[in-house]
Amino acid sequence: MNIVVCVKQVPDTESPRKLKTEDKTLDRAAADGVINELDEYAIEEGLRIKEAHGGEVTVLSMGPGKAADSIRKALAMGADKAVHLVDDGLAGSDAVQTSYAIQQVLGRTGFDVVILGSESTDARTGVLAAMLAERLGVPQLSLANKVEIDGTAITVQRQTDYGFDRVAASLPAVVSVVEKINEPRYPSFKGIMAAKKKPVQTLGLADLGIPAEEVGHAGATSAVLEHAKRPPRAGGTRVTDEGDGGVKLVEFLATEKFV
């Protein structure tokens, strides 16, 4: 089975993050880069599908050169090979352009199932899986917290506010997963050493025949018009207990409409 897992390197949420003043895009160089948390669950699910049904897992990442660190971690977890789409012309691409670029890569690699995290911690659009499935002309099974494959049939348990739905389709398909689907494995020392020898194919816009005007900041279909720093957190309200602390606490909670 040809399993492709899309992996994005994002700024560490524990690091200070900011937008660049010149084009209002995320300053990725200003923060440590890590694998998008939900993508780790996607990697783990891809590995489990491989272990159950055979085949190989390809990691596909679109991002700057430093994204190679995240690719190597995915390989250390157990993925077999990787494709890194890297080109200065991709900087500032929005979800529409990203789905187009990834579609072009998948046209080369082929796939039986494409797995993504349900959203990224930097953009939080949550739309890439749907856009990608539409471009590829295959079913999309979203918000999966369980995946079952039987031959060419795929069924997922889709997480909802009221419980879950069971959704079925035929392969090939695109699947997005949530954090409740599994527990991602840690790279072992053996896996880290093996990752150094696993193949990573690097592709640019010219390799895929993607016109420069189809991607990047200048041609993006959405943009940040203005932004401001988050205001400092206001000081809390201190309640001094002088025998009436309970009353004061309830009055405060009532004022804030908690009770």
pLDDT in tens, 2-40: 999 999 999 887 777 777 777 777 777 777 889 999 999
Take residue 100 and report the two structure tokens written for it. Answer: 């187009």
Model confidence at 234, pLDDT cuts 50, 70, 90, reads: confident
The Cα–Cα gap between 235 and 191 comes to 47
Average pLDDT, rounded, for the chain: 92
* pLDDT score for 138: 98
The Cα–Cα gap between 211 and 89 comes to 10
The Cα–Cα gap between 126 and 95 comes to 9
Burial class (CB in 10 A: 0-12, 13-18, 19+), 89: buried
Percent over 90 (pLDDT), the chain: 69
Compute the half-sphere exposure of residue 122: CA atoms within 13 Å on the CB side of its CA.
24
The Cα–Cα gap between 16 and 32 comes to 9
Burial class (CB in 10 A: 0-12, 13-18, 19+), 75: buried
Give per-residue pLDDT as tens, 192-201: 999 999 999 9
Take residue 238 and report the two structure tokens written for it. Answer: 């201190």
Q: What is the pTM of this model?
A: 0.85
Average pLDDT of span 223-251: 82
Phi, psi of 101 (to 5 degrees): -65, -45
Element (H, E) at 59: strand 56-62
* pLDDT score for 219: 79
Distances, alpha carbon 182 to alpha carbons 127, 144, 178, in Å: 22, 11, 9
Asked if pLDDT for residue 227 goes beyond 90, the answer is no
- Do the strands 153-160 and 140-150 form a parallel or antiparallel pair, or are they unpaired? antiparallel
* pLDDT score for 30: 72
Position of tokens 């990752």?
195
Neighbours of 208 (CB within 10 A): 15
Q: Which residues pair with 201 in a beta bridge?
A: 83
Take residue 57 and report the two structure tokens written for it. Answer: 């897992």
* pLDDT score for 18: 75
Q: Which of 3-17, 21-35, 109-123, 135-149 has the lowest mean pLDDT?
A: 21-35
